[in-house]
Amino acid sequence: QKEVEQDPGPLSVPEGAIVSLNCTYSNSAFQYFMWYRQYSRKGPELLMYTYSRGNKEDGRFTAQVDKSSKYISLFIRDSQPSDSATYLCAMKEKKSSGDKLTFGTGTRLAVRP
């Protein structure tokens, strides 16, 4: 079983839709959770970072962490065609365990004009 599971998609939505992207994980030691956006043939770009639990909002993006369910989500409001990309969740254990990020496989998102 992979430590981090993510539906690869593709997910296709119309412009303006609310998008929900999710990851589940099995390692209860994960404490830091990130979402990266990766355009085709580019490096990942950090979108959101959350610690341990709760919600974090940044513009059209909201990240949620539910540690009891080992489940994290990224919501995109008013989606735009420019949001079309692969979204990667990434997780890290506590600081003393090192800085290794463990990624999901990524979800491909297409926003139709």
Binding residues for other proteins (CB under 8 A):
4, 6, 8, 32, 34, 36, 41-46, 49, 51, 88, 90, 92, 95, 98-106
- Nearer to other proteins by C-beta: 17 or 61? 61
Task: Rank residues 73 and 102 by Cβ distance to other proteins and give the closer one.
Answer: 102
Question: Residue 12: which residues within 8 A CB-CB, separation 6 or more?
Answer: 109, 110, 111, 112
Least distance in angstroms from the C-beta of 112 to other proteins: 22
Q: How many C-beta neighbours within 10 Å does residue 71 have? A: 13
Smallest distance, Å, CB 104 to other proteins? 5
The residue among 53 and 77 lying less far from other proteins, judged by its C-beta, is 53
User: How many other C-beta atoms are found inside a 10 Å radius of the C-beta of residue 89?
Assistant: 28
Phi-psi region of 92 (alpha: psi -120 to 50; beta: other; left: phi over 0): beta
